[in-house]
Amino acid sequence: MGCGGSKSKPADAGTHQQHAPPKPMAKYSSPAPPAVALPSVPPTMLAAGSGTDQPPGLLTNIINLFVPNDDSAASCGRYPDKFRKILDLIADYPLVNYDDYDDSANIDDESYDDVNDASKPQPLDINLDYWEIGYDGIKMIVAALDEANNNTDGNTLQQNATPEEEEKNVPILTTKTSLKCRKIRKLGLDHNQIGPKGVQHLVDFLCQQNNTWIIEELDLGHNEMGDEGAISVAKLLKSSSLTSSQNGMNTCLAGKYIQKISIDYNEIGDAGTISIASALRYNTSLHTLNLADNNIGEVGCNGVDKSLRVSNTSLRDLNLMGNENVPAEMEVQVKEKVRRNFVKHHHEQNVKNEGILYFLDCSAMA
């Protein structure tokens, strides 16, 4: 099980200097934020946690930026210049074959030097924790995501798509191999004052039929979303079961590929938890869920327990710590079912790996 506890704010990154007012962001709906005191950015940026200089081109692939401890603030975030770069990068991000993404890159690995290798397209890692972008910032992110969608050339479809599907540019999800998408490995939005409206706005976009974006890990901790925001998260999870009325195939990318969600410290009660529990009956991709330090009680926990008992076999890491109204014996029951999923998953992986090794051994002997 995961552990509870608050997330610490990054340490101070150094000196600050005053910058000129930023240029208007014509592409996006919200106005440009006013000038604020920003940290100076060297020609080569530091990757978070690496401690080594990275090439300037790093920003075109990985945008997990260091966050100084600064008390200045502005509309749409503390760091408007950096935020603008991220929005532009998102809007221009190309479609890539799902199987072509290289997930081996570790942004904290000093030995990894191939982030700009065109033959190894990298998924995005976007860490905006503590940036305080608010609801306006979420609207700008969604506008950038949507602009990338509008740049789609229709190649999200399989080769055997029908003329009607080609005309409507509907992504068909029969196999990952045939899919082109835009992949965000992690979107970190912890401590951003998004609120329930911001969560709803992001989820509504991700659940659109023509969305080409995949987010594997979504961190929405400390955002005051309450039950209303949790219901939106449930919509995202449940969207994995949505199908096209034309061909009966799954047409929602986001819900089908989401793997980790963190919504700790969000004042979520039983109503929001029951919605999420209901969605877990339909979702088969989510394996990690952080619900720590909310206002969940016996009713909400019982809903999660029922979903795990009836149908869900994919959730194998669930954090309920800090929910003081959850009976201890009920939490133990839920943990046992999550552990069952964990053991089953690793057993299946071992069987699969043994089968591959057996096949390779037989091929070598032939």
Which residues is 262 bridged to in the sheet? 219, 290
Q: Would you say residue 1 has pLDDT above 80?
A: no
Overall average pLDDT of the 52-63 stretch: 36
Q: Would you say residue 303 has pLDDT above 80?
A: yes
Of 5-9, 17-21, 353-357, which gets the smallest average pLDDT? Answer: 17-21
Residue type at position 280: L
Average pLDDT, the chain: 73
Question: Which percentage of the chain shows pLDDT scores above 90?
Answer: 48
Residue labelled with tokens 């692939």? 61
Residue 214's nearest CA partner among 278, 262, 171, 276 is: 171
**Max CA-CA distance within the chain?**
70
CB atoms < 10 A from the CB of 297, how many? 17
| More reliable by pLDDT, 190 or 110 | 190
Question: Which residues have a Cβ under 8 Å from the Cβ of 251 and sit 6 or more positions away?
Answer: 170, 171, 172, 173, 209, 242, 243, 244
H/E segment holding residue 261: strand 260-262
pLDDT at 362 (0 to 100): 53
Neighbour-count burial of 88, counting CB atoms closer than 10 A to its CB (0-12 exposed, 13-18 middle, 19+ buried): middle
- CA dihedral 12→55→27→255, nearest 10 degrees, is -80
Q: Per-residue pLDDT tens for 245-283?
A: 443 444 577 888 999 999 999 999 999 999 999 999 999
Overall average pLDDT of the 81-91 stretch: 91
Question: Which residues have a Cβ under 8 Å from the Cβ of 334 and sit 6 or more positions away?
Answer: 301, 304, 305, 308, 318, 320
How far apart are alpha carbons 119 and 136 in whole angstroms? 36
Q: Per-residue pLDDT tens for 143-155?
A: 999 999 998 654 4
The model's pTM is: 0.72
pLDDT range class, residue 340, cuts 50, 70, 90: very high
How far apart are alpha carbons 64 and 126 in whole angstroms? 5
Overall average pLDDT of the 323-345 stretch: 94
Q: Which long-range contacts (CB under 8 A, 24 or more apart) does 45-51 make?
A: 47/107, 47/108, 48/107, 48/108, 48/127, 49/107, 49/108, 50/107, 50/108, 50/109, 50/110, 51/110
Q: Would you say residue 159 has pLDDT above 80?
A: no
How far apart are alpha carbons 123 and 101 in whole angstroms? 7
Tally of CA atoms within 13 A in the half-sphere of 101 that contains its CB: 22
Determine contact, residues 211/180, Cβ cutoff 8 Å.
no
Determine contact, residues 147/27, Cβ cutoff 8 Å.
yes
pLDDT range class, residue 119, cuts 50, 70, 90: low
